[in-house]
Chain A
Amino acid sequence: DIQMTQSPSTLSASVGDRVTITCRASQSISSWLAWYQQKPGKAPKLLIYKASSLESGVPSRFSGSGSGTEFTLTISSLQPDDFANYYCQQYNSFWTFGQGTKVEIK
């Protein structure tokens, strides 16, 4: 099974900050990686797929990069609506999620 490890678990930041979340796979997954945003009581929302492709309708301040085993999600300028939980997911072999990163207000 492929394990996904996100860091950090919690990130404290202010509006306007540049934020980076890292996701590491236990083996190579090529670019078969997605990022989701989840707010309390809501379903996850797709942000990024195939490591760096922006889902339609998602603001351009979100970007993804990486391949193989190391991936990052970057929010270029954090907005009030961005305080949420973020999950990476591999879909190279079945589907596995990272444990999540909570982005909270500093």
Chain B
Amino acid sequence: QVQLVESGGGVVQPGRSLTLSCAASAFTFSTYSMHWVRQAPGKGLEWVAVISYDGINKYYADSVKGRFTISRDNSKNTLYLQMNSLTAEDTAVYYCARTNGYKNRFDYWGQGTLVTVSS
């Protein structure tokens, strides 16, 4: 069955960088747009970034624009999120999720990876 498995979370100091990964399996990864969504502790869901199936088009939430970079390696069925200049406000569980094209729902989600920004 479709699986999305995030990794790379942990504790990081303010101002530092971290890269998250999302390994996909049991579907044709290269035909799906992929997203990152985050959830701060006790809060709601916030869409973070999307990358098109071919990696050409990328869009970001204003809250992370200029600091985060989404990328993918279709040969490895893996999605990435490079996070720079991290602040306490970036502390959250980060989920990857897929959509079939842009105007579509998130039908599968990973289990999430926790990023804690703290000194």
Residues of A within 8 A of B (CB): 32, 34, 36, 38, 42-46, 49-50, 55, 87, 89, 91-92, 94-100
Contacts and interface: CB of A to CB of B under 8 A. Distances in A.
Contacts of A95: 35, 47, 50, 106
A98 B44 contact: yes
B45 A49 contact: no
A92 B110 contact: no
B68 interface: no
Contact of B106 (A34, A42, A92): A34
Contacts of A38: 45
A35 B27 CA distance: 23
Chain A at the B interface: mostly helix, strand, loop or mixed?
loop
B105 A46 contact: yes
Contacts, number: 51
B19 to A, nearest CB: 20
Interface residues of B, number: 19
A97 B45 CA distance: 6
Contacts of A49: 104-105, 107
B107 A96 contact: no
A45 B45 CA distance: 12
A43 B47 contact: no
7 contacts: A34-B105, A43-B111, A46-B105, A50-B105, A97-B44, A97-B45, A100-B45
B44 A100 contact: yes
